[in-house]
Amino acid sequence: MIMTEQRNFDCTCIGDLHSWLLHEGSGTVGKTLNAFDTTINIRTAKDELLVITLGKLRSPMNLNVNPGNANVNLGFKQIVGEDAKARILNENVGKRPRAALLVGDAVIMLSEHDKFRNQFSCLEPRAIQTFARNSDRIFSALESQAHANRFGCLLEPDVTTRGLLDAFLVQLIKDKTVLDYHEFKARISKELLELCGKGPGFTPAGDDFIAGYLTMFNWLRGSLKLGQAIIPGSEFSLQTTWTSFKLIEYSARNLLDEQVQEMINSVARNQIDDYVRSIELISKRGHTSGVDFVTGMTFAMYTITDRLHRTRVLENISRVLNST
């Protein structure tokens, strides 16, 4: 029997990145990197990040679970040790095959439940110009979140992040006028690399900014048919942890959780109010992770508007930052 009393969990949603687990034969499929109260991070045999979570936020990388018969007060970190193997175990119950994912003492019953994959709206004509005209309101929302006890983020820097955003912005203003897209992309990638691994947190502030920047940059690039995406390579992986690098990579590939997907779609649908609400919602993540992520998204959007439509939003933001 594959179930363990008081440690049994039920799968409620599985991200498209890991739907292969539903059809995998018995055997080892990965290894635990970290176990926290409500999440387990696993490095799979496919070299992907699998996040098992008691939370309801759906994402291509998540496996959402309910406690089932488990004592949720124990927390995952009480029943899953670091380096614990993740194994699939299959058995037949009557005529019906049944599979479970075993991680330490956690037993997760898998089934063909809801699978999450991203769905993006089409970009409305002139939407990003509208966002450029409303840049004061949007940047004010970012500053408000940065000043709300988020010391250490790039907009409210501590000793580990001081000067990083200013240096990036100065270079970005110069680079946006580069006519050749391949040269422009190479310069952006090089400047983002300077932020990689910098700042406090389980995922450093610089990494969160990079993830947000590439989320928006690559989605707009695809929507506007500007050229190839910026996909971070090994040079980024050498600057930070494997987990943080994978989160950057997934953002660059637009493998996004449903809240970030909604933020992208608010731009596509030309909905300023929804974008501001997304800033407020996502900024609650971690200490600085959320606010740095949405700051990166916003800077990327204005990189594109300034480059394509000769708006001067980045210069205006630079003046505001230097006056405070």
DSSP string over 169-206: HHHHHHHTT---HHHHHHHHHHHHHTTTT-SSTTTTHH
Q: 133 and 79, same structural domain?
A: no
Residue 213 burial (CB count, 10 A): 30
Each residue's pLDDT tens digit, 239-250? 999 999 999 999
pTM across the whole model: 0.94
Which helix H or strand E contains 114, and what residues bound it? strand 114-116
Share of the chain above pLDDT 90, in %: 84
Burial class (CB in 10 A: 0-12, 13-18, 19+), 265: buried
Q: 147 and 77, same structural domain?
A: no
Q: Of 88, 115, 142, which residue constitutes the final position of a domain?
A: 115
User: What pLDDT, on the 0 to 100 scale, is given for residue 200?
Assistant: 82
Please state whether beta strands 62-66 and 27-35 pair in parallel, antiparallel, or not at all (unpaired). Answer: unpaired
Q: 95 and 157, same structural domain?
A: no
Q: 132 and 108, same structural domain?
A: no
Q: 151 and 15, same structural domain?
A: no
The whole-angstrom separation of Cα 219 and Cα 211 is 12
Q: Of 87, 115, 143, which residue constitutes the final position of a domain?
A: 115
Assign 69 a pLDDT band (cuts: 50, 70, 90).
Answer: low
Q: Of 67, 93, 115, which residue constitutes the final position of a domain?
A: 115
Each residue's pLDDT tens digit, 24-55? 989 999 999 999 999 999 999 999 999 999 99
The whole-angstrom separation of Cα 271 and Cα 263 is 9
Place of tokens 């040079």: 235
Residue 113 burial (CB count, 10 A): 12
Range of the domain at 16: 8-115
Residue 122 lies in a domain: no
Q: 168 and 27, same structural domain?
A: no
Contacts of 75 (CB under 8 A, 6+ apart): 36, 37, 38
Rounded mean pLDDT of the chain? 92
Residue 43 lies in a domain: yes
Q: 50 and 77, same structural domain?
A: yes
Q: 142 and 28, same structural domain?
A: no
Residue 281 lies in a domain: yes
User: What pLDDT, on the 0 to 100 scale, is given for residue 2?
Assistant: 40
Beta-bridge partner residues of 44: 30
User: What pLDDT, on the 0 to 100 scale, is given for residue 150?
Assistant: 80
Q: How many domains does the chain have?
A: 2
Assign 275 a pLDDT band (cuts: 50, 70, 90).
Answer: very high
Residue 121 lies in a domain: no
Q: 110 and 131, same structural domain?
A: no
Each residue's pLDDT tens digit, 161-217? 999 999 999 999 999 999 999 999 999 999 999 999 999 888 999 999 999 999 999
Residue 107 lies in a domain: yes
Residue 2 lies in a domain: no
Q: 133 and 77, same structural domain?
A: no
Q: Assign 163 to helix, strand or coil.
A: coil
Q: 251 and 157, same structural domain?
A: yes
Helices 272-282 and 135-146 cross at an angle (nearest 10°) of: 10
Residue 282 lies in a domain: yes
CB 303 within 8 Å of CB 223:
no
Q: 17 and 164, same structural domain?
A: no
